[in-house]
Structure 1
Amino acid sequence: MNKRIIVALSVLALVSTSCGSKKKIAALEKQNKECQDLLNSTTVKLNLCLSEKEAMASQIDFLKKNNSELINNMGNMTTLTAQGAQNIEKALETIKEKDLKISRMQDALTKKDSVTLALVTSLKSSVGISDPDIEVNVEKGVVFISIADKMLFKSGSYMVSDRAKEILGKVAKVINDKPTFECMVEGHTDNVPFTGNAILIDNWDLSVKRATAIVRVLTKELKVNPAQLIAAGRSEFIPLVDNNTAENRSKNRRTRIVVMPKIDEFYDMIEKEMKKQK
């Protein structure tokens, strides 16, 4: 009877952990969407400023031509030249202000891309990733390191292999060099039902346990700051390919480490520049 109670409490704890991870994932996805929406709005503003700059350049050409014609027609060189110069000067000041605003927005838009590019370069050089079972790529401004489960775990297990610790040691070095970044460790499975045991019930449990196992290695053995890490299980529901062959199922069994620059810092920077345009 006591064993049944212990098992029930263990399952309840795992479910609670999974729910907490889902909330964190949902919050991060919402935050990422807000940042993407803000990026889109800023791009529209930038295009508008570029159009206004082009219109002002045309106005300067018109003023120069008009000034020349007035001088020729009326012969009052001193008065007309002074007035034309004043108009041109005002137009140039306006364009200078537009250029400054455009430059600020372009800097804001490219800063995150620059940080992301630098991170990818750093990862590829320091981690030394050349194995086809390890991929580093960028999607929507976020860096993903995807590692096939056969390099991390035995089939149906969440015990981290020695080979995996060697790879994770290189990833940990990059994370430790970026103390303001956050990393989410995601466990993914194929769609073959997990038969279950006294600890694991289904693929949800397996994916979560694999994520937390990776997090433990990163924090306890490789000294990564726990505050930078999030453990998440995605089960079988985000496959890379159809689970219709053994090879495809092998591709879908993976652990993905999502490396994210602080979204809040970028969001605040864009928000300040948007307010300057009002």
Structure 2
Amino acid sequence: MNIKTISAGLLALALTTSSCVSKKVYKDLENKYADLKKESRDIADQNAALSKEKNELDLKSKDLQSQLDKAIAERDKLQADYTATKASLDNLKASYTALEKDSSSALDANVKKNRELLAQLEAKEKALAAERERLDKISAELKDRSERVNELESKMAAQEAGMSALKDKLSKALNSFEGKGLTVEHKNGKVYVSMENKLLFGSGSWTVGTEGKKAVVEVAKVLGDNPDISVLIEGHTDNVPYNGGNGVSDNWDLSTKRATAIVNIIKENKKVDPKNLTAAGRSEYAPVASNDTAEGKSKNRRIEIILTPKLDEISKLLNEVK
């Protein structure tokens, strides 16, 4: 029941009862009615104001609800983004941790490997330095040896040339005895003067005949001009056993006596140093031809004068080269 209904009821009651009440009471009722009416208008105005305010609040509430819903949606989206981002971050952290662990292990392994390689490199550098030093030493030795070899070859060539010249001198000096069982030959770095016994000795004798002595004297002259030559005089026989007596026991003895006889003639030349002379008997054991023929036996009965350059200096060089 509103104020207007109450006011109408009171007014009707007053009119109905106006005949029964005093004027004073009527006046009071009328004043109350006026107050109530005014109060009703005030309430109506307040109600209208409240209704307007309510409508405004409803609009604001709807707007706020819309903003709240939007904020909630944005919050949910942010929450989802946060959750996804956090998951990605956690995965990234896990991956980083694993990578860091692997990297640390790999780094340690690489450091260890690098140290090993560095140690190997240092060892190889030391070995290389030692090898270089060894090669330098070998190179110096090789150079020195090469120089000595060149010197040796030069001396050997000079000696060979000297022996060739010696052979030529002997050939020239003994030219008049060619065809008489005398030959001069240069081989193996030596000069061989071969004289058959028919030029030098009678059968079974070790006494040198006149023609043979002339040939030996010519050889001695050449030897006197070449003091650096070693001279080996070898006596040779055929294979016929010696039965001549005269204090000669056999072919060995005869070959030695004949070689000694040649030495005695050569050393008569005072320019020949006896230290360079050697006499040797070879008997029938170094034949140059077959003993089955008279011609072969004649060739085997001989004196060989073997001229050899002194090799002391060359031997020294050879030992230095080794």
Deviation at 1:260? Answer: 1.1
- Residue number in structure 2 paired with 1:252: 300
- Residue number in structure 2 paired with 1:229: 277
Deviation at 1:139? Answer: 2.8
Deviation at 1:101? Answer: 6.7
Give the TM-score, by structure 1 length. 0.59
The question of 1:107 aligning with 2:158 is answered no
Q: Gaps (5+ residues) in structure 1?
A: 1-93
Q: For 1:172, what is the secondary structure of its paired residue?
A: helix
Deviation at 1:268? Answer: 1.5
Aligned residues: 179
Post-superposition Cα deviations, 1:98-152, rounded to whole Å, max 9, x if no partner, equal 9867744532442332222121122122333551311111232111100010000
> Runs ≥4 in structure 1, deviation > 2 angstroms?
97-106, 125-130, 222-225, 269-272
Q: Could you tell me whether the CA contact under 8 Å between 1:108 and 1:269 is conserved in 2?
A: no
- Residue number in structure 2 paired with 1:203: 251
| Compared CA separation, residues 192 and 270, structure 1 to 2 (3 A) | same
Q: Could you tell me whether the CA contact under 8 Å between 1:127 and 1:170 is conserved in 2?
A: yes
Of 217, 222, 236, 2:265 maps to: 217
Identity, % of aligned positions? 39
Of 184, 198, 201, 1:153 maps to: 201
The question of 1:121 aligning with 2:165 is answered no
The question of 1:188 aligning with 2:227 is answered no
Q: For 2:287, what is the secondary structure of its paired residue?
A: coil
Q: Gaps (5+ residues) in structure 2?
A: 1-139
Q: For 1:197, what is the secondary structure of its paired residue?
A: coil
Q: For 1:194, what is the secondary structure of its paired residue?
A: coil
Give the TM-score, by structure 2 length. 0.51
Higher RCO, 1 vs 2 (CA within 8 Å, ≥6 residues apart)? 1
Larger Rg: 2
Counterparts of 1:160 and 1:101 in 2: how far apart (Å)? Answer: 46
| Compared CA separation, residues 116 and 212, structure 1 to 2 (3 A) | same
- Residue number in structure 1 paired with 2:70: none
| Compared CA separation, residues 218 and 102, structure 1 to 2 (3 A) | closer
- Partner amino acid for 2:173? S
Counterparts of 1:162 and 1:108 in 2: how far apart (Å)? Answer: 39
Higher deviation after alignment, 262-271 or 124-133: 124-133
Deviation at 1:204? Answer: 0.5
